[in-house]
Amino acid sequence: MNKDNISKKKYDYLIVGAGLYGSVFAHEAKKNGKKCLVIDQRNHIGGNVYCENIEGINVHKYGAHIFHTNNKEIWDYVNSFVPFNRYTNSPIANYKGKLFNLPFNMNTFNKLWNVNTPEEAKEIIKKQTLEANITNPQNLEEQAISLVGKDIYKTFIKGYTEKQWGRKATELPAFIIKRLPLRFTFDNNYFNDIYQGIPIGGYNKLTEGLLKGIEIRLNTDFYTNKEELSKIADTIVFTGKIDEYYDYCYGKLEYRSLNFKHKILDTENYQGNAVVNYTEASIPYTRIIEHKHFEFGKQKKTVITEEYPEEWTPSKEPYYPINDSRNMDIYTKYKQKSLESNIIFGGRLAEYKYYDMHQVIGSALSKAKKIFRT
């Protein structure tokens, strides 16, 4: 057949999902002269990092997103689209009305035990772990107590974790907690990464920069138009649920979901911090986010979000993969099947991984470099 008679498809890449993975890949493809179409079933770009401006405040609609990384290449990459501010994540834990610093550090230990030195704190933790005498932890509760003792477990871990997973800690596998960071300094910075911040003006600035000049179709469901959409591009980049793409032929993967309740309050400052975790089981939400503090806002009103963990159903957004042995066995089959096609699967849902933002971006950049040899 004459090459000239072969009809060229309209796009080089159809990118399903306008979140970070899809946006980064689309940007790199365009940079390399490729024509892309990005579609998303939502009415906005940005995926879960999307912000809605309410009362002059950039509200993280799908939960708090705090960018942090040790990778200078990725930090420079995101800052080339929008400058990031100097926000440092220093969350607070509220347990029965008492406030403690997170992660567990000397400020935490001082408030919990009235100790002033690292040696005093270490001694209490050592005493409690020895008294527990747990040599072979059988569940999450035993694992946590064997690492940090009963006081820290009861105050900060038990209630929060049971809400997060919707299971008793004694019913959760020990491997969920591989380690618990103990910091014997008066340092409230939650992350150890060198680079940290929030885009000035919100995350929409980042995704708008990445997708500049690229054709986008919103409110477009891939499955409703699968046959037609699959024909218009040489390659599909898929960022949705990998099990759904293959019509659940090996079974359904499981997730935890979240429900966000946003409230506008007629006050300048509700809690004095961007993130406050509620660690007791009797309070149904895991944390309250006060969004203005991410960008040091001085607006007259404030917007808070209560975050409620939920069991996932197909009608809800999947947020956290449940990477237990059963689900990983299923995912491995889908992964193997995907290697037999020319479809690119990327991102948290397609790779069934709990990715932070810098890891999603790194994954997309790595795939683009491999394809375009840049």
Q: Which of 131, 215, 310, 354 is catalytic?
A: 354
Active-site residue, selected from the candidate residues 162, 254, 307, 351: 307
Compute how many other C-beta atoms are within 10 angstroms of the C-beta atom of residue 32.
13
The bridge status of strand 302-311 relative to strand 320-321 is: unpaired
Number of CB atoms found within 10 A of residue 338's CB: 18
Sign, Cα dihedral of 319, 322, 328, 331: negative
* Tokens 């709990």, residue located: 354
Q: How many CB atoms lie within 10 A of CB 103?
A: 20
Structure tokens at 308: 């409620």
- Residue ranges with strand state E in the chain: 11-16, 36-39, 51-54, 57-60, 67-69, 92-95, 98-101, 195-197, 215-217, 233-238, 255-265, 275-278, 287-290, 302-311, 320-321, 344-345
Specify whether 86 is catalytic. no
Determine whether 307 is an active site residue: yes
Q: How far apart are CA 126 and CA 120, in angstroms?
A: 10
Q: First vs last Cα of the chain: how many Å apart? A: 33
Which one from 40, 243, 287, 352 is the annotated catalytic residue? 287
Active-site entry in 119, 179, 266, 340:
179
Q: Which of 42, 256, 285, 317 is catalytic?
A: 256
Beta strand extents in 228-325 (DSSP E only): 233-238, 255-265, 275-278, 287-290, 302-311, 320-321
Residue indicated by tokens 């933002």: 357
Tell me the angle at which helices 158-165 and 140-148 cross, rounded to the nearest 10 degrees. 150
Catalytic residue among 21, 40, 87, 183: 183
Integer Cα distance of 197 and 199 in angstroms: 7
Look at residues 223, 236, 227, 220 and name the one whose alpha carbon lies nearest to residue 39: 220
Torsions phi, psi for 11 (to 5 deg): -125, 150
Asked if residues 26 and 210 have their Cβ atoms less than 8 Å apart, the reply is yes
Catalytic residue positions? Answer: 179, 183, 256, 287, 307, 354, 356
